[in-house]
Structures are given as structure tokens and as C-alpha cells.
């Protein structure tokens, strides 16, 4: 918003009729000036609010990334313990009991635990989340591993609402839920047959104080 009102105030040396005319015009100019000043202040406040929301989102994502890193470390520790198990290489069409551990046929160095007894399946454990769960974190294929495609989604107000992505050839979605103040309150990620929900708790000042995650 631009303030384009230009004042021409009356001066002590002006003739009486000129002084009166300038004084009247000065009074008339005060109303549009006040309106433009208010609109400018509102625009500045809106910009500041948007910047604060962007910073809030960045802090939330940093906390989510930290949680993910801690979860990966914990999974890696579990994988190290499982490495000494008497695991066999997965075989198509074989019979597997619940809690059986195998080495993935196409995923060198990765182990999977059977979560549902079955037989006669030709689907590799990595692509069979109904029967197998990965033991430990999945190591990235390269230092630049990550989504090969990501489409950001925004709400009517322009705020980030989520994304749809493709990673390791599989589709996934991430959805943000915001509170009444427009701050990130929940992050739900759906990928590879699993749903991870991260709920954000804030203190009285609106700062993030805790993030709780569940996965099903």
C-alpha cells in the first residue's frame, strides 16, 4: 500500500484567504491520509504475521526432522541386534511363521520380520507390508536419496497444507493440520502401507514444547 496524500499546510505568511483555503484543504486531506496509513499498517501486520507463520512452520519441520532422525537411530540399533539372528534369505513361495526373520532378496543388507504367517507368496518382503516389516532403518541408496517427485499443496489462504510425493517408486502423502491461529498442529504422513502421525503441543506463548508420534 502506498501513501500518496501530499499536504500543503497553511503558512504564517499566507494571505488570509490563501491561509483559510489551505487550512480547509489540509483538514480534508487528513481523512484519506488516515485511511491510507491504516491500510499500510494492516499490510505490514499481515506481512509480519505471514513471516511468523513461516518461521513457525520451519521450527515445526525441524522438530519433525529431529524426531525422524532419533527414530532412525533407534531402528538402526534394533537392526544391529537382529543382525546376529539366524536369518535365511527370503525364498518365493516358501512358508513363513510369524516373527520369522529373513534377508531381503533384492535388498542387500536389510532384514525383515514376518508379521503374519503365510505361504505361497512371490512378493518380495520390501513390497509386501501386509506380511513383512523392515527390521532397522532403510539405508539410503545414495547421499542424495529422497523423494524423486514432490508436489506441494496449499490452502485457500496460501498456507502450506501438505504434499504428494514419490519415493523409491512408491506414492506417499503428507498432510498438515493447523490450529485456530494457523500454526502447524499435526503432521500425517502416509507411505508404503503405513501412517505416521505427529502431534505438536505448544506452551502458553505458542512455542512448540512437545511432539508425539504414532505409527500404524
8 A C-beta contact, residue 161 and residue 174? no
Q: Report the alpha-carbon distance of residue 108 to residue 138 in Å, rounded.
A: 11
What is the reported pLDDT for 42?
Answer: 76
What is the reported pLDDT for 118?
Answer: 93
What is the reported pLDDT for 168?
Answer: 72
Identify which of 35-39, 57-61, 197-201 has the greatest average pLDDT.
197-201
Long-range contacts from 210-214, C-beta under 8 angstroms, 24+ separation = 211/63, 211/64, 211/67, 213/67, 213/71
**pLDDT tens string 120-149:** 999 888 888 999 988 865 555 555 556 667
- Partners of 103 in the β-ladder: 89, 111
Cell 515445526 appears where? 60
What is the reported pLDDT for 199?
Answer: 92
pLDDT exceeds cutoff 90 at 95? yes
Mean confidence (pLDDT) of the chain: 78
Whole-structure pTM value: 0.40
Specify the length of the chain in residues: 216
What is the reported pLDDT for 171?
Answer: 87
Q: Report the alpha-carbon distance of residue 191 to residue 83 in Å, rounded.
A: 25
What is the reported pLDDT for 161?
Answer: 86
**163 or 62, higher pLDDT:** 163
Query: Average pLDDT of 114-118?
Result: 92
**197 or 63, higher pLDDT:** 197
- At residue 138, what are phi and psi to the nearest 5 degrees? -85, 115
Cell 532403510 appears where? 138
Amino acid at each position: 500500500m502506498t501513501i500518496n496524500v501530499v499536504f500543503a499546510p497553511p503558512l504564517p505568511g499566507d494571505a488570509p484567504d490563501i491561509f483559510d483555503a489551505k487550512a480547509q484543504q489540509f483538514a480534508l486531506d487528513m481523512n484519506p491520509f488516515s485511511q491510507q496509513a491504516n491500510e499500510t499498517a494492516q499490510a505490514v501486520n499481515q506481512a509480519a504475521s505471514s513471516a511468523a507463520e513461516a518461521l513457525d512452520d520451519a521450527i515445526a519441520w525441524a522438530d519433525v526432522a529431529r524426531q525422524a532422525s532419533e527414530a532412525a537411530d533407534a531402528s538402526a540399533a534394533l537392526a544391529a541386534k537382529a543382525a546376529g539372528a539366524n536369518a535365511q534369505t527370503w525364498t518365493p513361495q516358501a512358508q513363513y511363521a510369524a516373527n520369522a526373520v529373513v534377508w531381503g532378496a533384492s535388498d542387500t543388507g536389510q532384514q525383515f520380520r514376518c508379521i503374519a504367517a503365510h505361504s505361497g507368496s512371490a512378493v518380495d518382503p520390501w513390497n509386501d507390508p501386509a506380511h513383512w516389516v523392515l527390521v532397522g532403518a532403510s539405508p539410503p541408496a545414495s547421499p542424495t536419496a529422497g523423494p524423486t517427485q514432490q508436489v506441494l499443496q496449499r490452502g485457500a489462504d496460501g498456507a502450506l497444507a501438505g504434499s504428494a510425493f514419490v519415493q523409491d517408486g512408491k506414492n506417499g502423502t503428507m498432510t498438515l493440520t493447523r490450529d485456530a491461529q494457523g500454526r502447524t498442529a499435526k503432521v500425517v504422513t502416509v507411505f508404503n502401507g503405513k501412517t505416521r502421525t505427529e502431534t505438536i503441543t505448544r506452551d502458553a506463548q505458542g512455542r512448540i514444547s512437545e511432539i508425539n508420534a504414532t505409527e500404524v
